[in-house]
């Protein structure tokens, strides 16, 4: 339906000279393709050259559109980073596409490339401190790259440590410089980042599904507040700060991450099934069919059906040639695409009492139109269940919820939301139920209440 969406997916690969030979460019393309769900507006790669320069290519569109040559148009390399983007801050244009490369002028010995997932709450203040003539975009990623370029310290590692206290908000970073690959995660661990291995070669990625795509082994998650340096000698780790708790964004479990990924040693798919089971316990109803809104709500709907004993079935079929509604930053485009997004199965709908399970209810506009279509097809009753709590406030850590006024639950009771959408009943999963499903305590769940 109308989705929340995360800012970006990032990946970095370091191929040891002494290790098994791999084509870093092709591997970056494959990894980025597996992270395409994290951003479909733009894609880019940056690769390190032996003379200290960095070659890059960025473009608007999906990975296969920007890199039909699977990256082989870039120079061969032992080290590179990649980025797919959805604009949560900054406009949707090629100037804001990453990775960002700085330090290419003769006054700097080595160039730096940065790919960033998240959002800095003090990004505008940091940008105001930088030489304005150097800024070509409106993104935090460029600000981080320029901060590194102008920071004190003879090595990039020392410069990263020096700017670390200035970065406030959510960030996972992969950085290319000095012939090395660097990675850093914010102290709260709001955005995911993991480390994998392909023989003697190393990969850093937003999600473990990218490792699976490459046939890489999962080593571990990058810890909150950790700085990793990868060079020919291997992986070097240092914890810059430890916070009393972690705050991974709960929507990574609910929607953002691929269902096959793992977060905090839990696979996402069974967590989503558990969300559905908790939802059934909290909001039972007599009905004939549990129906997921495809595709991300399927595990939760299966869990709901299992716990409730109601038959599970597909009455809403996703049109495979229609992109995600929420991936489009223009609301007018979202509305125009709603009617193309789903096909309905009349025999499953006509005369039936339906439980529609969705992972979240954002603006409510798409669901309102879907419910009207289900009524038109003869649904007897429609009961909507959301496997996330109601969204009432914007997020400033890299999720596309720019204004509170856009959220259907803001300023409305549950019954008022149900009336607006046109359903017979509406049930949201509670924060307590969310915590039980994730097998976590409520204090470790990052929400925006």
Catalytic residues: 8
Token readout for 119 is 């959002």
CA distances, 116 to each of 26, 261, 301, 343 (Å)? 21, 19, 33, 36
Distance of alpha carbon 277 from alpha carbon 92, whole angstroms: 38
Distance of CA 317 to the CA centre of its chain: 24
Bridge partner list, 14: 79, 202
Query: How many other CB atoms sit within 10 Å of the CB of residue 441?
Result: 10
Helix (H, G, I), strand (E, B) or coil at 28: helix
Burial of 410 (0-12, 13-18, 19+ CB in 10 A): middle
Distance of alpha carbon 283 from alpha carbon 298, whole angstroms: 18
CA Rg value for the chain:
22
Distance of alpha carbon 109 from alpha carbon 436, whole angstroms: 52
- HEC readout, 144-203: HHHHHHHCCCCCHHHHHHHHHHHCCEEEEEEEEECCEEEEEECCCCCCCCEEEEECCEEE
Distance of alpha carbon 425 from alpha carbon 182, whole angstroms: 50
Per DSSP, the residues of 73-97 read: TSPP-SEEEEEEE--SSS-SSGGG-
With a CB cutoff of 8 Å and minimum separation 6, the contacts of 413 are: none
With a CB cutoff of 8 Å and minimum separation 6, the contacts of 131 are: 146
Check: CB of residue 328 under 8 Å from CB of residue 337. Answer: yes
């Amino acid at each position: 339906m109308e989705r929340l969406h995360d800012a970006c997916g990032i990946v970095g690969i370091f191929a040891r000279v002494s290790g098994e030979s791999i084509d870093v460019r092709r591997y970056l393309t494959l990894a980025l393709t597996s992270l395409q769900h994290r951003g479909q507006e733009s894609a880019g790669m940056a690769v390190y050259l032996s003379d200290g320069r960095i070659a890059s290519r960025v473009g608007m569109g999906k990975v296969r559109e920007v890199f039909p040559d699977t990256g082989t148009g870039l120079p061969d390399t032992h080290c590179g980073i990649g980025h797919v983007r959805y604009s949560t801050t900054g406009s949707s244009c090629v100037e804001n596409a990453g990775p960002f490369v700085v330090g290419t002028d003769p006054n700097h010995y080595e160039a730096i490339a940065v790919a960033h997932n998240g959002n800095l709450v003090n990004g505008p203040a940091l940008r105001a401190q930088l030489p304005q003539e150097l800024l070509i975009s409106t993104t935090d990623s460029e600000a981080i790259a320029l901060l590194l370029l102008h920071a004190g310290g003879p090595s990039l590692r020392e410069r990263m440590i020096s700017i670390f206290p200035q970065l406030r908000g959510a960030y996972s970073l992969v950085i290319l410089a000095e012939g090395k690959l660097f990675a850093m995660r914010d102290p709260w661990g709001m955005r995911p980042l993991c480390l994998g291995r392909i023989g003697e070669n190393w990969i850093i990625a937003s999600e473990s599904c990218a490792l699976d795509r490459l046939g890489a082994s999962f080593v571990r998650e990058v810890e909150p507040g950790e700085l990793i340096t990868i060079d020919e000698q291997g992986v070097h780790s240092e914890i810059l700060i430890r916070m009393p708790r972690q705050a991974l964004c709960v929507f990574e479990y609910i929607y953002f991450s691929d269902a096959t990924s793992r977060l905090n040693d839990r696979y996402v798919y069974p967590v989503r099934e558990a969300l559905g089971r908790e939802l059934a316990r909290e909001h039972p109803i007599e009905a004939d069919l549990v129906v997921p809104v495809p595709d991300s709500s399927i595990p939760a709907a299966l869990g709901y059906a299992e716990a409730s004993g109601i038959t599970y079935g597909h009455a809403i079929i996703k049109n495979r040639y229609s992109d995600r509604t929420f991936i489009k930053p223009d609301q007018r485009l979202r509305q125009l695409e709603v009617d193309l997004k789903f096909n309905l199965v009349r025999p499953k709908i006509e005369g039936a009492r339906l439980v529609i399970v969705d992972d979240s209810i954002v603006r409510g506009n798409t669901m309102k139109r879907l419910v009207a279509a289900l009524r038109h097809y003869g649904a007897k009753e429609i009961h909507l269940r959301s496997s996330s709590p109601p969204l009432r406030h914007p997020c400033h850590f890299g999720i596309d919820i720019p204004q509170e006024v856009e959220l259907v639950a803001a300023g409305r009771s549950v019954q008022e939301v149900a009336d607006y959408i046109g359903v017979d009943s509406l049930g949201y999963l509670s924060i307590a139920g969310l915590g039980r499903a994730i097998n976590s305590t409520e204090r470790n769940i990052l929400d925006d209440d």
